[in-house]
Amino acid sequence: MTAAITMDEWLAEFEKVSEFQGDEGATVRELSEQMGHESKWVRDHLREAIDKGRVAVGRRKYLRIDGTLTMVPVYRINPETSQIKAEI
């Protein structure tokens, strides 16, 4: 079982691994791979961060394995409410 972490600790980890995504944001799958946690763990923390206004949700184009272009949800730190940015 993974130890509990605070919202600020999770957001700091989220920010580190999602920097390579830029303003586009990162998918749950990308965040899961970069953070080294299961998708459910990432989604659970995302839900809390979204509910608190700390993470913004967007969409971006994604090419599926069958060659179909689709839109997928992406997540990024909400700079207007991020305490992490304010502390740096």
- How many Å apart are CA 76 and CA 37, to the nearest integer? 17
Coil, helix or strand for 62? Answer: strand
Is the pLDDT at 78 greater than 70? The verdict is yes
CATH number for domain 7-87, candidates 3.40.50.1820, 1.10.3720.10, 3.40.50.720, 1.10.10.10:
1.10.10.10
Q: Are 75 and 55 in contact (CB under 8 A)?
A: yes
pLDDT in tens, 35-73: 888 999 999 999 999 999 999 999 999 999 999 999 999
